[in-house]
Structure 1
Amino acid sequence: MSDVGGAAGKILATFEDVVGIALPVRVRAWDGSQAGPTDSPARVTFRNRRALRRVLWSPNELGVARAYVSGDLEVDGDIYALLDVPDLVERIGAHRSRETGLRTLARAGGTFVRLGAVGPPPKPPTVEMRGRRGLRHTRARDAASVTHHYDVGNEFYRLFLGPTMVYSCAYWSPGAATLEDAQAAKNEVVCRKLGLRPGMRLLDVGCGWGSMVLHAARHHGVDAVGITLSGEQLELARRRVADAGLSDRVEIRQQDYRELDDAPYDAISSIGMSEHVGVSRLVDYAGILHDHLRPGGRLLNHAIASVKPLPDTPSRAPSFIDRYVFPDGEILPVSAVVDALERGGLEIRDTESLREHYALTLRAWVASLRESYDRAVDLVGAERARTWLLYLAASALGFEYPYRLSVHQVLAVRPDASGASGMARTRDGWYRDDPGHGRDRP
């Protein structure tokens, strides 16, 4: 550590005191001072005292995120090295549970004040969603949440998603050499689990830019309907369908799942959608999808999952994800999803975790975004570009360790009147029954 008498040394010592661990980070401050390991792959610059003031007014992840997104705090070098401090979350929790926790936070606040971090709370970055009132998951509020996240420019998303424009976990099968290969493999896995055949009718709920319905129509001969709340996704998805010459077999609608009224479908895919539904409406969601399946029809629900049980009293503390990325999003344990699907009348036939696959997917997205970062700033502005880089990098680490985040594909069926599912008894049977329209069996 150098210049320990300057602002940088005091800042680093304060953060280390709060988290109870030495931080492998090089810190620079507005006064020119530096502190921390000189060989650290991650360098953090506090460009002004306002960065500290943001943390002082919100002494949690939201304060640090506001400092970074606003540009008051800069990160150079390896962002993973900064975020991937071993057991950081657990250490913070243990430290705050001690009797000295409040005194530690008081010391930190006193240091920030002595460094000049005084004054009213700074205005949040412009990309932060604030002041939301009323019930969660009404149609209007869900539409606003989707607009906040998805309607920021199709070209921006293309920078890191690549040509497939798939914004969910890929499937890194042995033959998948690129992100494009892995996303095609994921769509194929979904199609085979659903048992798609030529002439079947498929519904894709939360269809994004149309990649799943395009794959299913092109490789499995189905007639497909995709629904989304995003106007920008709708426009591009329809254009992709027309360019593929599939307008007679694929329809893209701007529609809420609660407005569906054209049952039955032979199969339904819900990929990265149920996280937006909310635990209070998940059983209703499952019931609506059940009612739109023919007897014997299959549903595949692909969703991020928490590995912790739902708390008896949900936290109302604002988080970076809720304010900046997925307003009103709810990451539920897979057990809650299975319970909701069963209560909605569906029979669970299979679950599969793709946790490691999502870590690889997110790493690929981060690499692509960093390669095109200047273009991203031109398209959506520096605040939003920083938001997505922080969100994607932190999420990658969240999936790389067990007991943090996971992602599951849950396959369910609507049994017929006799109780039969119409499915093969084994997973191998599902793939063996495929008529050969798709790729090689994964």
Structure 2
Amino acid sequence: MSTAQRILTTFEQIAGGPVPVGVRSWDGSTAGPSDPDVTVVFRNRRALRRVLWSPNEIGLARAYVSGDMDVEGDLFALIEGPAVIERIARRDLRELDRHEIRDIANNFLRLGALGLPPKPPAEEVRRRAGAKHSKDRDAEAVSHHYDVGNDFYRLILGPSMVYSCAYWATPGSGTLEDAQFAKMDLICRKLGLTKGMRLLDVGCGWGSMAIHAATHYGVDVVGVTISHEQRELALKRVAEAGMSDRIEIRLQDYRDVADGPYDAISSIGMSEHVGDAQLTNYACILFGLLRPGGRLLNHAIASVAPIAPQAKSPQTFVDRYIFPDGELLPLSHTVGALERAGFETRDSEALREHYALTLRSWVDDLRGSWDEAVELVGAARARTWLLYLAASALSFERGRITIHQVLAVRRHESGAAEMPRTRAGW
């Protein structure tokens, strides 16, 4: 049996069934279909040791991010199709009998894959100081994700620099830039923005929403972020737009904002960082910053299944490499927190299919600028992002996760909410 065939056989044992991909080994041997859509290349034995020591998605991610394992062909075909990665990553090896475990162990032995666990790639987050969702720990987590480099984000996001779900009013029409404009405009209309209003943009990113609202709706905006690099570029973009007198960008945690009342608050792709334990406090803080009659638009990714008890050290690729301490919560948790804070929920719109399209566009942008991306952040980080964006697109397409725009209002004591009677009103 060739080295490549033994590798393929071992992974089929772990996956519990056929793995219809090509395999190429460090010795040049190949196995699998004669003309595969995707070939997994094992450049050295260390790739196998990574999986042996972490037989789940962490081991696979470490092998890919480090470059010990590579993918030639369509990455989407590897992740979707027969869901090869998922089957291996989610397989509970405790389900195997002792004969299967013995065979797998013997194959690893013959492949020379036994040995000490390799050091994880530098891009992986491991130890985290402080209590979860404390201000200092949140700042560290946000920095890990957002302070990668503004030029790198520009390659992926394009000129809009909007890092959240776009909105195609007519499916399949318009560019990503058009769809991001439409999304920001939709939020402004839902918030009922008019000239002279005061808007707080929580988690303002690179200032795109603030600039849009000030330019097209004549509002004064305070944007807050805890990313140094985001604030630096946001200030530059605000100045270039001639809006420095209308927009203030602060390096500030939302928990430290104390200059309300605001007429409206937008929170776009930010509450995923808040955490379930802090969600009601988050809602109460925003409620306190709004005037009576003011509206909040909370735009956030959500889970579509009940939350399982979380381990102390989650063994997930996203937690270790992308969003440390991030939590995707069911819509019911978000609405419940808003209502406990005193808000009246007036509308919720799911945009799941829109985010799948957005992510596919970002994948295309990253692939199309691959050499420049590697030059900016290194091959390992570029691999991390390609895997994350592709897997996320498939998660939205399959309905494993979704995204909602929840519109809530702080009502007047009389009960009046100053809301249009129908969605046509915005």
TM-score range, shorter chain: over 0.9
User: What's the CA shift for 1:99?
Assistant: 4.5
User: What's the CA shift for 1:111?
Assistant: 1.6
User: What's the CA shift for 1:64?
Assistant: 0.5
Aligned to 2:149: 153
User: What's the CA shift for 1:106?
Assistant: 5.1
Distance 1:288 1:381, change over 3 A: same
CA distance in 2, matches of 1:373, 1:202: 37
Aligned to 1:40: 36
**Residues 6 and 31 in structure 1, CA contact (< 8 A), matched pair in contact too:** no
User: What's the CA shift for 1:98?
Assistant: 8.0
Q: Equivalent residues in 2 for 1:124-135 (5 A)?
A: 124-135=120-131
Aligned to 2:221: 224
Find the partner of 1:296 among 288, 293, 303.
293
CA distance in 1, matches of 2:43, 2:347: 51
Distance 1:342 1:72, change over 3 A: same
**Residues 129 and 324 in structure 1, CA contact (< 8 A), matched pair in contact too:** yes
Paired residues, what number?
425
Aligned to 2:194: 197
Taking structure 1 as the reference length, the TM-score comes to 0.93
CA distance in 2, matches of 1:304, 1:57: 32
Q: Equivalent residues in 2 for 1:263-278 (5 A)?
A: 263-278=260-275
Aligned to 1:206: 203
User: What's the CA shift for 1:20?
Assistant: 2.1
**Residue aligned with 2:163, SS:** coil
CA distance in 2, matches of 1:246, 1:47: 52
Aligned to 2:4: 8
Q: Equivalent residues in 2 for 1:235-384 (5 A)?
A: 235-312=232-309, 314=311, 316-384=313-381
Pairing 1:168–2:164 present: yes
**Residues 56 and 90 in structure 2, CA contact (< 8 A), matched pair in contact too:** no
Residue 284 of structure 1 aligns to which amino acid in structure 2?
Answer: N
Residue 37 of structure 2 aligns to which amino acid in structure 1?
Answer: P
CA distance in 2, matches of 1:201, 1:93: 47
RMSD over aligned Cα atoms: 1.8
CA distance in 1, matches of 2:275, 2:382: 27
Residue 118 of structure 1 aligns to which amino acid in structure 2?
Answer: L
User: What's the CA shift for 1:108?
Assistant: 2.5
CA distance in 2, matches of 1:61, 1:94: 7
User: What's the CA shift for 1:125?
Assistant: 0.7
CA distance in 2, matches of 1:30, 1:52: 11
| Gap runs ≥5 in structure 2 | none
**Residues 129 and 137 in structure 2, CA contact (< 8 A), matched pair in contact too:** no
**Residues 44 and 74 in structure 1, CA contact (< 8 A), matched pair in contact too:** yes
Aligned to 1:180: 177
Aligned to 2:388: 391
Distance 1:312 1:198, change over 3 A: same
Taking structure 2 as the reference length, the TM-score comes to 0.96
Aligned to 1:434: none
Moved more, 98-107 or 348-357: 98-107
**Residue aligned with 1:246, SS:** coil
**Residues 11 and 88 in structure 2, CA contact (< 8 A), matched pair in contact too:** no
Distance 1:416 1:314, change over 3 A: farther
Find the partner of 1:24 among 17, 20, 27.
20
CA distance in 2, matches of 1:22, 1:248: 62
Aligned to 1:436: none
Residue 218 of structure 1 aligns to which amino acid in structure 2?
Answer: T
CA distance in 2, matches of 1:80, 1:90: 12
**Residues 18 and 92 in structure 1, CA contact (< 8 A), matched pair in contact too:** yes
**Residues 38 and 77 in structure 2, CA contact (< 8 A), matched pair in contact too:** yes
User: What's the CA shift for 1:107?
Assistant: 3.4
User: What's the CA shift for 1:41?
Assistant: 1.3
CA distance in 2, matches of 1:229, 1:37: 49
Distance 1:32 1:336, change over 3 A: same
Moved more, 23-32 or 235-244: 23-32
CA deviations over 1:137-196 (Å, ceiling 9, x no partner): 111111011111111110000001000000000001228410100000000110011010
Aligned to 2:109: 113
**Residue aligned with 2:188, SS:** helix
User: What's the CA shift for 1:96?
Assistant: 3.4
Q: Equivalent residues in 2 for 1:29-108 (5 A)?
A: 29-86=25-82, 96=92, 99-100=95-96, 104-105=100-101, 107-108=103-104
Residue 250 of structure 2 aligns to which amino acid in structure 1?
Answer: R
User: What's the CA shift for 1:208?
Assistant: 0.3
User: What's the CA shift for 1:336?
Assistant: 1.0
CA distance in 1, matches of 2:156, 2:90: 37
Aligned to 1:439: none
% identical equivalent positions: 64
Residue 414 of structure 1 aligns to which amino acid in structure 2?
Answer: R
User: What's the CA shift for 1:127?
Assistant: 1.1
CA distance in 1, matches of 2:150, 2:227: 11
User: What's the CA shift for 1:88?
Assistant: 5.4
Distance 1:207 1:8, change over 3 A: same
**Residue aligned with 1:209, SS:** coil
CA distance in 2, matches of 1:231, 1:91: 39
**Residue aligned with 1:135, SS:** coil
User: What's the CA shift for 1:131?
Assistant: 1.4
User: What's the CA shift for 1:94?
Assistant: 8.8
Distance 1:109 1:339, change over 3 A: farther
CA deviations over 1:6-28 (Å, ceiling 9, x no partner): 11111111212222232221110
**Residue aligned with 1:368, SS:** helix
User: What's the CA shift for 1:93?
Assistant: 9.0
Moved more, 381-390 or 86-95: 86-95
**Residues 95 and 101 in structure 1, CA contact (< 8 A), matched pair in contact too:** no
